[in-house]
Amino acid sequence: MSPTKYIPALDWLRRYRRADLPGDVIASVIVTIMLIPQSLAYALLANLPPEVGLYASITPLIAYALFGSSRALAVGPVAVVSLMTASAIGGIAAPGTPEHWAAALLLALISGLFLLVLGVARLGFLANLLSHPVISGFISASAILIAASQVKHILGIRISGERLHEILLQIAEQIGAVNWITGLIGVASLAFLFWVRSSLAPTLQRLGLSKGAADLAARAGPVAAVLAATVSVAMLRFDQGAGVKIVGAIPAGLPPLTLPSLDPQLWVDLIPAAVLIAIVGFVESVSVAQSLAAKRRQKIDPDQELVGLGAANIAAALTGGYPVTGGFARSVVNFAAGANTQLAAMLTAILIAVATVFLTPLFFYMPEAVLAATIIVAVLGLVDVKTLRHAWHYSKADAVSLIATAAMVLLFGVETGIMVGVGVSIGLYLWRTSRPHVAIVGQVPGTEHYRNVLRHSVITKPGILALRVDESLYFINARYLEDKVAALVAEQPQVRHFVLICSAINFIDASALESLETIGRNLSDAGVKLHLTEVKGPVMDRLRKVGFTEYLTGEVFLSTHQAFQVLSAGTSEERSAQRANL
Amino acid sequence: MSPTKYIPALDWLRRYRRADLPGDVIASVIVTIMLIPQSLAYALLANLPPEVGLYASITPLIAYALFGSSRALAVGPVAVVSLMTASAIGGIAAPGTPEHWAAALLLALISGLFLLVLGVARLGFLANLLSHPVISGFISASAILIAASQVKHILGIRISGERLHEILLQIAEQIGAVNWITGLIGVASLAFLFWVRSSLAPTLQRLGLSKGAADLAARAGPVAAVLAATVSVAMLRFDQGAGVKIVGAIPAGLPPLTLPSLDPQLWVDLIPAAVLIAIVGFVESVSVAQSLAAKRRQKIDPDQELVGLGAANIAAALTGGYPVTGGFARSVVNFAAGANTQLAAMLTAILIAVATVFLTPLFFYMPEAVLAATIIVAVLGLVDVKTLRHAWHYSKADAVSLIATAAMVLLFGVETGIMVGVGVSIGLYLWRTSRPHVAIVGQVPGTEHYRNVLRHSVITKPGILALRVDESLYFINARYLEDKVAALVAEQPQVRHFVLICSAINFIDASALESLETIGRNLSDAGVKLHLTEVKGPVMDRLRKVGFTEYLTGEVFLSTHQAFQVLSAGTSEERSAQRANL
């Protein structure tokens, strides 16, 4: 039990190689330049003061670097979690009040503690409750919701409301109140960013840059847009007469130490949202971390990731931030820029701290419209139609979970959406197992194989009905099997032996055991014996323990072939006996 | 599509045989005598006026007789549903007010409509969400709760509160305020009823009665107790000075026509409870109906039962009643007394109606204490320790669902209890499937069988690792399989071929498909090919549809044996090739 197991930093710091330093330094500079406008933008999205975004990009990075297992993950404010934060704390207090910020701090604390507990208890598998289609539907719909919520900043209008139809309706109502200078800045930024996104990298490559360098330069697009817009506003003083909203004065200095509230009612109010934010943040972060680690044949430990993200959120709560997690674009940039170890993240944190102390006056004239434009362009890349098309093609149930999740997010908000998504995907799974595939089987001529009579031309024996059930038996499908067996035997009155093939039955719960007893009793009343074959070891152990084999009217065979041999011999003997009696 | 499919009465009335009449008449008289005190007692349990119990025992019986499929089921007020009604409407209005009764009517209407919709949509399988252990825990705990709630009537004290600890605490606090005459009547009734229950039938049999007659006589115990107590109170006028609470004046006459409220808020408030009452009532009723039908080789149709019970509850709502369902004891008596068709229930309804018009003065002096005693003795027979013992022995997960359900019912009430029970049983099932049993297999010498290397002495080949996964692959266990395969291959660096045996995989959802792709990619990076064997038809169809086989690095084999033969030939060839290259 070495401490390095719980604090990976002890391991990588000790083994740090000089050769890793240049990559880590360059990556930290690039990520810092990218992260500053992102922090301000995501704080805006969360309806929090801009400095809160910066504070959430300092100590959480250090905490993750100490406790996290991914080398390239860049932690900080991200779009989806910011939206969820806005939704969670919006109901607690009005934006701009101290209570509103206090709620954000507590939200980060509870999320952090929850992640930490999951990690220490090694319960990371809970994140598996979110299926890929649910995550895809959730992220796509959240991205649309985020983009819609930022339109107000682009147009310089005021809208409240968190649901898509509310937002769209309010935009339509206030289209006359648009601030045209703000709109000009916003639309120009959007156009520029979309151009950067779609065309800059190929153009640069044509001009002779390497692919990697061209991609990195394209990633700097938002920074250029923010810079240009800020300079324009500062020069032309659009904030005065034209009424363009700007970031304004940010208190300079290191993050404050903050003690989240201990008010029990506030805890109770925030726990559900905090748990959802923690799980969503974890799932998003761990997928990024895993895909980056795989590219360099490194491994991440999901349970250690929980500890790292938990520590990051607790750090955010104690230093004026709000919930954070690993960001996709930012981590990719960190990785591509050459980050070799978590030292890159530590250096990024120091650079952001320096910026917070010395550079805040430079952010004064930054227009909110350009920040909103960077958010919109970033999130629209998250809208994922490919997964929907693929799921629709592969399995309608998966497509339904995806669509249900997305629709609920758009219509009722992120929390309802994700809960409905989990509910629907579990419900559809249970539905699928509630009507198991069953097959009457017969012998493939000349072999010991027994296959579905509907799919293969096989030999059956009169008097013997062999049914393979392709599902474990448990309370949800127990009665279905009862009905199925009753119907089959009613259709074939000549049957004397019913063979249940258990090769796909991985367990039988107490309810299904009762159903098996009922089936046995009903078959016995109808003069039919119930036999079992190919019962798996663990299932048989359990059946023996409660003496099921004693009141089984038939036998337990090792294989279906053996059952057919013994039983068809048996039925011939019975027939001979009957004939002898005549 | 004949109408008899939806109205079974059309069928049995047309084919009614004269020979069935005596049994139906006798059964109806006996059930009526049993049902009158029960109706009054269960109305008391639901905190409703006594006549409501009678009203719920008239039209609902006729509605069920027309639409239900069981011949012997006796519908009416029952203990568990009465308790759930008390809990649901207790929060809406104070007992005794018109709003309280109106809530009971609406509760019956919503339950009825919900059952009807389920029945018409043939969704009866939804009741399968309640596993046997959950039902057992729910019924046992409800019985204890009901018995505890009746102690106040036995002792003549006033207590409020619906949770066991609240009830027990209040009893302890008010033990000084006991009304001794009431207590005497209550305790004497209890003692008599317990004696009847345990000893009367054997005594009568010893005195020469047949077993059936003795059992029926013992069932009449409650009627005798109620009669004796009523006469005593009437003679000695205990209701005056001694303050013994009596049923009092009941309005004589047929049930009123009632129109349940259309207040949308009341609907919203009552829907959750109504849905639970409908499901619990249906499950209880359908088990009774099924076990009675099986005794006479008759069949019931669960979806038609939904329609029948739905009609019964709607009838209750329109004629001054409250939620009803099929009662266990009462149905058994109906069956034992010779009921041959649903005509018995129709005659019972007529007899109860006659009693409601002419006999209500006889109920005036009936003490509440004796009604409470009949409830206590009836429900304590429902406490079921055997199922708990059995479940504990067979499967701890089932025992945990049972205990969790019972504990939640006692501590937080019936609605919370049943929802937690369903949640826990589904959660435990998902947990079980989240860590599927996997087995590395090898060849049983001299056969084509491949078995678990840990359980059997089998032959393995170096370079080939064959893993059998005993579970369908879906989002909850997809990542587990990824980790498992990665760990296995990391342990055995000499492996070149990984064979996934799919004999127990009944489906693969979109998330698991992505995991399989990841597994294939990771194995390929490590120089290992991924092969599949024994893929079931429906699973293979789906995999082909999305072209999975194209990016599979290995092959799909029909059987594990074939895979071993081809691959071990392959590896020897590769080895020869390597040697040749040296």
Q: What is the ipTM of this complex?
A: 0.81
Q: Tell me the pLDDT tens digit for each residue of A503-562.
A: 889 889 998 998 898 899 888 888 899 999 989 888 998 898 888 877 788 999 988 999
H-helix or E-strand spanning residue A500: strand A497-501
pLDDT value of position A337: 83
User: B576 pLDDT band (50/70/90 cuts)?
Assistant: very low
| pLDDT tens string A511-521 | 899 889 889 98
Give tens-digit pLDDT for A209-255.
Answer: 888 788 777 777 888 899 999 999 888 888 887 888 998 888 988 99
Confidence of residue B1 (pLDDT cuts 50, 70, 90): very low
Å between B582 CA and nearest CA of chain A:
30
State how far the Cα of A293 lies from the Cα of B365, in Å rounded to an integer: 82
Percent of chain A with pLDDT over 70: 97
Q: Find the range with the poorest average confidence among A74-88, A394-408, A459-473, A564-578.
A: A564-578
Predicted local distance difference test score (pLDDT) of residue A100: 94
pLDDT band at A28 (very low <50, low <70, confident <90, very high): very high
Report the share of chain B in percent with pLDDT over 90: 47
pLDDT at A1: 47
Q: Report the length, in residues, of chain B.
A: 582
Which secondary structure element, helix H or strand E, spans residue B452, and what is its range? strand B450-452
Per-residue confidence at B570, pLDDT binned at 50, 70, 90? Answer: low
Residues 6+ positions from B567 with CB-CB distance below 8 Å: B461, B463, B464, B497, B499, B531
Q: What is the pLDDT at residue B580? A: 45
User: pLDDT, tens digit, for every residue of B321-379?
Assistant: 999 999 888 898 888 888 889 999 999 999 999 999 999 998 899 999 999 998 898 88
A236's CB contacts (< 8 A; 6+ apart) are: none
Highest mean pLDDT among B50-64, B390-404, B512-526: B50-64
The pLDDT value given to residue B3: 66
Give residue-wise pLDDT tens across range A182-204.
Answer: 999 999 999 999 998 888 888 88
The residue type at B445 = P
Residue of B nearest to A456 (CA): B537
Task: Give me the residue from B510, B537, B546 closest to A455, CB to CB.
Answer: B537
Q: Which residue has the higher pLDDT, A398 or B537?
A: A398
- Mean per-residue pLDDT for A351-380? 91
Total number of residues shown for chain A: 582
Task: Decide if A163 contacts A411 (C-beta within 8 A).
Answer: yes
Looking at beta carbons, which residues of chain A come within 8 Å of B394? 510, 513, 542, 545-546
Report whether pLDDT(B211) > 70.
yes
Tens digit of pLDDT for each residue in B88-115?
999 899 998 999 999 999 999 999 999 9
CB contact under 8 A, A426 and B426: yes
Separation between Cα atoms, residue B469 and residue B179, nearest integer Å: 67
Residue B440 DSSP SS3: strand
B520: its two tokens:
């294939």
Is residue A382 over pLDDT 90?
no
- Report whether pLDDT(A572) > 70: no
Nearest to A434 among B125, B474, B536 (CB): B125
Contacts of A522 in chain B (CB under 8 A): 294
Q: Which residues of A touch B125 (CB under 8 A)?
A: 434, 479-480
Q: Could you report the per-residue pLDDT of A447-504, keeping only the tens digit for each?
A: 888 888 988 889 998 899 999 998 899 999 988 898 889 888 888 888 999 999 998 8
Separation CA B237–CA B230 (nearest Å): 10
* Minimum-distance CB partner of A128 among B131, B390, B475: B475
Q: What is the average pLDDT score of chain B?
A: 89
SS3 for A255? coil
Secondary structure element (H or E) that encloses residue A556, with its range: strand A556-557
Confidence of residue B315 (pLDDT cuts 50, 70, 90): very high
pLDDT digits (tens, 9 = 90+) for B418-431: 889 999 999 999 99
Q: What is the 3-state secondary structure (H, E, C) of A395-455?
A: CHHHHHHHHHHHHHHHHHCHHHHHHHHHHHHHHHHHHHHHCCCEEEEEECCCCCCEEECCC
A195 to chain B, any CB pair closer than 8 A? The answer is no
Share of chain A above pLDDT 90, in %: 46
CA distance A500 to chain B (A): 15
Query: What is the per-residue pLDDT across A252-296, written as a single tens digit (0 to 9) for each?
Result: 889 999 988 889 999 999 999 999 999 999 988 988 887 777 677
Mutation target vs B (from A296, A429, A453, A503; most B CBs, 10 A cutoff): A429
- Cβ-in-10-Å burial (0-12, 13-18, 19+) of B392 comes to middle
| Chain A residues 159-188 with a CB less than 8 Å from chain B | none
Contact A128 B480 (CB under 8 A): yes
Q: Which among B287, B389, B395 is the top mutation candidate for probing chain A, defined by the most A β-carbons within 10 Å of its own β-carbon? A: B395
Query: A474-478, A498-502, B132-136, B574-578 — which is least confidently predicted?
Result: B574-578
- Closest-approach residue (CA) in chain A for B427: A426
pLDDT above 70 for B303: yes
Contacts of B479 in chain A (CB under 8 A): 125, 128
Chain A residues near residue B510 by CB distance under 8 angstroms: 131-133, 390-391, 394-395, 398
Contact B282, B103 (CB under 8 A): no
Using the predicted structure, report yes or no on whether residue B162 has a pLDDT greater than 90. Answer: no
The answer to whether A323 and A262 have CB atoms below 8 angstroms apart is no
What is the layout of strands, in order, in the sheet containing B450-452? B450-452, B438-443, B464-469, B497-501, B529-533, B556-557
Contact of B133 with chain A, judged by CB distance below 8 Å, is answered with yes
Write out chain A residues lying below 8 Å of B423, CB-based.
none
Among A348-352, B343-347, B554-558, name the one with the lowest average pLDDT.
Answer: B554-558
pLDDT of residue B409: 92
pTM above 0.90, yes or no: no
Are A397 and B511 inside 8 Å of each other by CB? no
Chain A residue with minimum CA distance to B454 = A537
